[in-house]
Amino acid sequence: MARPYTEQQVLKKLDIPDFRHLTKEKVIAFATMVPKMNPEVAKKALEQFPNFASTSLDVLKEYRSVIQEAMEDDRESMRSCYDMYNRVMDSLEKMLDNDDLTFEQKTYILNQMQEVAAAVADKDSEKSRNRLKLIWVIGGVAAAIVAALASSLGGNIALKESNNIDDDNITDL
C-alpha cells in the first residue's frame, strides 16, 4: 500500500497555501484524497475547514440540480426523437398500404421500418447507459464526501484497527 499523503502533498495537489483556502470547487478533490491521507492530516484539514459538511452538501445539491437538468434535457430530446421515429413509421406504414407497390418496394419499406425499430432500441440503450453514468458520478462524489466526513470522525483509524485482526481471532469467528 502506498504511503499516506502528507499535508504538504495534499496542499500541493490542491494548489492552495493552507487548508483555510479550501474552496467549494476544491472540496470534491479534497474529499477523494481523504482515504489516502494520513489521518492526522485529514483531521487537521477538516479542523481548518469547519463548514466542510455544509459545503459538501451544497456541492451535492449543485450536482443534483445539474443532473436533474441533464435528465430533463435528455427526456425532452428523447421525446422529440421518439416523435420523429413515430412520424417516420407512420409514413412508412401509409406507403406500405399502397396496393400498387411491387414486392421489392414493399420489402424495402419493411427493411426501413426494421431500421427505425433498431434505432429506437439503440436510443433506449443509450438512455440506460447515460443514466448509469450519472448514477456512478453521483455515487462517486457522495462516497468521497462520506469518506472525508467519516475520516474526520475517526473512521479511517477504526478501519485500520479492524484490519489488524490476528489469526487466532479469525478462527474464533
Q: Residues 16-35: pLDDT tens digits?
A: 888 777 777 787 777 778 77
The percent of residues in the chain predicted with pLDDT above 70, rounded, is 80
State yes or no: pLDDT of 129 exceeds 50: yes
Residue 142, C-beta contacts closer than 8 angstroms, at least 6 positions apart: 60
Q: How far is CA 25 from CA 15, 31, 55, 67, 129, in A?
A: 12, 11, 10, 17, 27
Which cell goes with 93?
A: 406504414
Neighbours of 13 (CB within 10 A): 13
What is the torsional sign of CA 40, 44, 47, 49? negative
Stretch 29-53: mean pLDDT, rounded? Answer: 76
State yes or no: pLDDT of 166 exceeds 60: no
For the stretch 80-116, pLDDT in tens is: 888 888 899 999 899 988 889 899 998 998 999 899 8
State yes or no: pLDDT of 169 exceeds 70: no
pTM assigned to the model: 0.46
- Say if CB 145 and CB 24 are below 8 A apart: no
Q: How far is CA 164 from CA 52, 157, 158, 170, in A?
A: 30, 11, 10, 11
For residues 53 and 145, give the distance between their C-alpha atoms in angstroms, rounded to a whole number. 8
Which cell goes with 103?
A: 414486392
Q: How far is CA 7 from CA 26, 30, 40, 127, in A?
A: 15, 12, 9, 42
